[in-house]
Amino acid sequence: MSSKHEVRSPDEKENIRKRFLQVDTSNVADVLDGLGYLNQGLSSTFVPFPADTGKLAGWAYTIRGQMTPYPQGGDAEKMTACAGVSPGEVTVWSGDGEGICYFGELIAIGMKERGCVGALIDGGIRDVRWIAAQAFPLFARYRTPVQSIGRWKVNGWQVPVSVRGAASQWVEVHPGDFILGDEDGVIVIPAALVDQVLDEAEALTKKECVIREKLQQGLSLADALTQYGHV
């Protein structure tokens, strides 16, 4: 198991990210369960925008905000936070905003220019059609035309944040954790477990491929369960 604070080269991080793109969130969830991490799945209210946005996989870069009335003209803290994003990272947006947009087309363009590989938003987005044109993977809780300017303001970044969970009310996300999202939903892999979880998820994926092939060749489900166990 690697240290949570292990320093990886950009190439190492990208190799890990590409490997995660080849495994399913369901397998990752099973591996985490086996390690005793039972509450890493995120709420089913997180959905892809658009529906065919593609797989979300990257290192967490956290951004936090809150409902705060302020004059029109933009959120300087949001721009500063976004300027710190690095290649291979997924921006994770959290806060108490409801009914307003944290993230839109222009931020998606700016994120993509910096090498950001997607966004996870515990809140709202807008410009869905135009974000789709950017081929930028994005999972959020809702969409809304209402902007954040004057309503919701960034007050922290690269700090631990809480996002809504599936089996628990909240899941804590730390900078450098790994975010994986697909058709089944989104899961958070703690940084200290990334290598172990990836190795075990890859092994489970290979096992499932063998089982699928055997079933297609005529092996009964009962015999498959006897031979391979539950997966």
Q: Known binder of ligand: residue 17?
A: no
Confirm or deny that 125 is annotated as ligand binding.
no
Residue 200 assigned as binding residue: no
126 is an annotated ligand-binding site residue:
yes
Residue type (1 letter), 38: L
**Which residue, among 37, 28, 58, 43, has the nearest Cα to 185 in the 3D structure?**
43
For every residue of 84-118, DSSP letters joined together read: T--TTEEEEEEES--SSEEE-HHHHHHHHHTT--E
Residue 131 assigned as binding residue: no
Distance (Å, rounded) from C-alpha 167 to C-alpha 165?
Answer: 6
Strand pairing report for 138-143 and 118-125? parallel
The C-alpha angle 16, 92, 73, rounded to 5 degrees, equals 140
Q: Is 187 within any annotated ligand binding site?
A: no
**Binding site membership for Mg(2+): which residues?**
127
Residue ranges at the known binding site for substrate: 104-107, 126
Binding residue numbers: 104-107, 126-127
